[in-house]
Chain A
């Protein structure tokens, strides 16, 4: 199914077109969402909403860019919204625990017995990394994640973010500097001398 046929099929609510859309873009959508959210399960759940959104808003797709680029934009926006929701929820949980005097109960997560100590360390490091990424300004975060995790070229990132190449280069450079600052104390016990 070619891209115009796929778009036409989605507009006609054709089940075969839905199947084609999901099979063609599920990996792209889920993996990109997981890089922003920091875990695969949440990304898989969110992907359902992303595909529903794609189908509902397909008539607003102007075909100035490729369908893939347009889907990237929707995925990034939805993922960032989800991160914001999770952060708000996190704040609420911390507030609740403060007022109910049960902070220990809410914040202490016992490691799952099936995960090896190495696995726990890996998970903790991943959480640290994503916490640091989520503290980056939004534009830097998008550019960095698409470049470093998703292996997108500067040109593709510029198209997704609707900006110029120099801006993308600058965003990625600043993101790397910021992350370096944020992470240097957390990995390999680095201490400033």
Chain B
């Protein structure tokens, strides 16, 4: 058998599917041809390499990482189911609360300043204390004057 014929039948030879006669002559050629035996050795090495690669297994925590990735992808926020009428009433209630707040606020601001009646009453009280209890330094005159302003 020639090298070219050996190479042409190499796949079948390696698979063991070559006819008996051809297989025998291929074996004979292999034992006498260094280059074809090197080729055979190289292909055997490829097969061994593939077998070693097939034996490799994924890491132990891969499943956890895949599941975490899936959880992140399909994570949906928990929707709180509210009846329709609540969804309508909520903005109305907020608007009412706002109006009430504004009204209370404006009323409060009206009564916030010191009215003139109150000032007059305060001055009268001071005068009463001065005259009846003889307390001259009960209140600083300047402050009273400021209040009167």
Q: Report B52 CB to chain A, min CB distance, Å.
A: 8
Interface string of B31-52 (1 = CB under 8 A from A): 0000100110111011001101
A104 within 8 A of B: no
A44 and B70 within 8 A (CB): no
A143 within 8 A of B: no
A188 and B65 within 8 A (CB): no
A43 within 8 A of B: yes
Q: Which residues of A contact B58 (CB under 8 A)?
A: 26-27, 30-31, 34, 40, 43-44, 47
B113 within 8 A of A: no
A191 and B35 within 8 A (CB): yes
B62 and A30 within 8 A (CB): yes
B88 within 8 A of A: no
A125 and B66 within 8 A (CB): no
A44 and B59 within 8 A (CB): yes
Contact of B35 among A148, A149, A193 (CB under 8 A): A193
A72 within 8 A of B: no
Bound Cα distance from A40 to B62, whole angstroms: 11
How many chain A residues touch the partner (CB < 8 A)?
42
Nearest CB in chain B to that of A148: its residue: B50
Q: Report A37 CB to chain B, min CB distance, Å.
A: 11
Bound Cα distance from A188 to B37, whole angstroms: 10
A67 within 8 A of B: no
Contact of B42 among A31, A52, A55, A190 (CB under 8 A): A190
A61 within 8 A of B: no
B53 within 8 A of A: yes
Contact residues of A between 1 and 59, Cβ < 8 Å to B: 13, 15, 18-19, 22-23, 26-27, 30-31, 34-35, 40, 43-44, 47-48, 51-52, 55
Bound Cα distance from A59 to B43, whole angstroms: 44
B74 within 8 A of A: yes
A27 and B69 within 8 A (CB): no
Bound Cα distance from A188 to B40, whole angstroms: 9
Contact residues of B between 54 and 70, Cβ < 8 Å to A: 54, 56-59, 62-63, 65-67, 69-70
A51 and B66 within 8 A (CB): yes
Interface string of A85-108 (1 = CB under 8 A from B): 000000000000000000000000
Contact of B3 among A18, A44, A193 (CB under 8 A): A193
Bound Cα distance from A4 to B129, whole angstroms: 98
Q: Which residues of A contact B49 (CB under 8 A)?
A: 122, 125-126, 129
Interchain residue pairs with CB less than 8 A apart (15): A13-B74, A15-B71, A18-B67, A35-B53, A47-B66, A48-B65, A48-B66, A51-B69, A125-B49, A180-B11, A187-B41, A188-B41, A188-B45, A189-B38, A190-B38
